Structure 1
Amino acid sequence: MAVYSADYLRRLLAAVEDFKQAFEAWMVTQVESDHMSSRGLMPTVWTKERQDAAKVRSLELDVAEAAGAAARAVAVTGAHIAVAGIGAIDPIANWSLMSAPKALIAPQDIRTTAATIRGRLHTLISEAEAAEESGIPGFAPSQLHPIVWSAAAAHWTTHQYRVAVREASEALTVHWKTRLGRTDVDDTVFWQQTLSPGEP
Structure 2
Amino acid sequence: MSQYGVDYLQRLRAAVEKFEEAFDAWMSTQVESDHMSARGLFPTVWTKEGQDQSEVQRLELGVAEAAGLAASAVSVTGAYIGIAGLGAIDPISNWSFMSAPKAPIAPRDIRTTTANVKGRLDAMIVDAESRTDSDLPTFAPAQFHPVVWAGASAHWTTHQYRVAVREAAEGLTVHWKERLGRNDVDDTVFWQQTLSPGAPEPGKPKLTWPGGGRMTRR
TM bracket, shorter-chain basis: over 0.9
**Could you tell me the TM-score, scaled by structure 1's length?**
0.95
Displacement of 1:160: 1.4
| CA–CA separation in structure 2 for the residues paired with 1:89 and 1:147 | 10
Partner of 1:121: 121
Q: Which moved more, 1:32-41 or 1:64-73?
A: 32-41
**2:46 maps to what in 1?**
46
Alpha-carbon distance in structure 2 between the residues aligned to 1:84 and 1:181: 14
- Cα distance in 2, alignment partners of residues 195 and 163 from structure 1: 25
- Hey, what's the Cα distance between the residues in 2 that align with 1:138 and 1:36? 44
Shift, 1:140, TM fit: 2.1
Rounded Cα–Cα distance in structure 2 between residues aligned with 1:197 and 1:42: 46
- Is 1:173 paired with 2:173? yes
> Taking structure 2 as the reference length, what is the TM-score of the superposition?
0.87
Checking the alignment, whether the CA contact within 8 Å between 1:19 and 1:63 is kept in structure 2 is yes
Q: Deviations over 1:151-185 (max 9, x none)?
A: 11111111111111111010111111122222222
Shift in Å, 1:138:
3.7
Q: Deviations over 1:87-146 (max 9, x none)?
A: 111111111111111111100000000000000000111111222xx1125442111111
CA deviation after TM superposition for structure 1 residue 3, in Å: 1.4
The one-letter amino acid paired with 1:183 is: N
Q: Residue 150 of structure 1 aligns to a residue in which SS?
A: helix
Identity over the aligned pairs, expressed in percent? 71
Equivalent AA in structure 2 for residue 160 of structure 1 = Q
Question: Alpha carbon RMSD of aligned pairs, Å?
Answer: 1.4
What is the aligned partner in structure 2 of residue 10 from structure 1? 10
Task: Describe how 1:67-86 pairs up with structure 2 within 5 A.
Answer: 67-86=67-86
Query: Separation in 2 of the partners of 1:194 and 1:81?
Result: 27
Equivalents in 2 of 1:91, 1:85: separation in Å? 15
Q: Is the 8 A contact 1:2 1:143 kept in 2?
A: no
Runs of 5+ in structure 2 lacking a partner? Answer: 201-218
- Give distance in 2, aligned partners of 1:181 and 1:43: 30
Cα shift readout 1:29-73 (whole Å, capped 9, x = no counterpart): 111110111222111111111111110000000000000011110
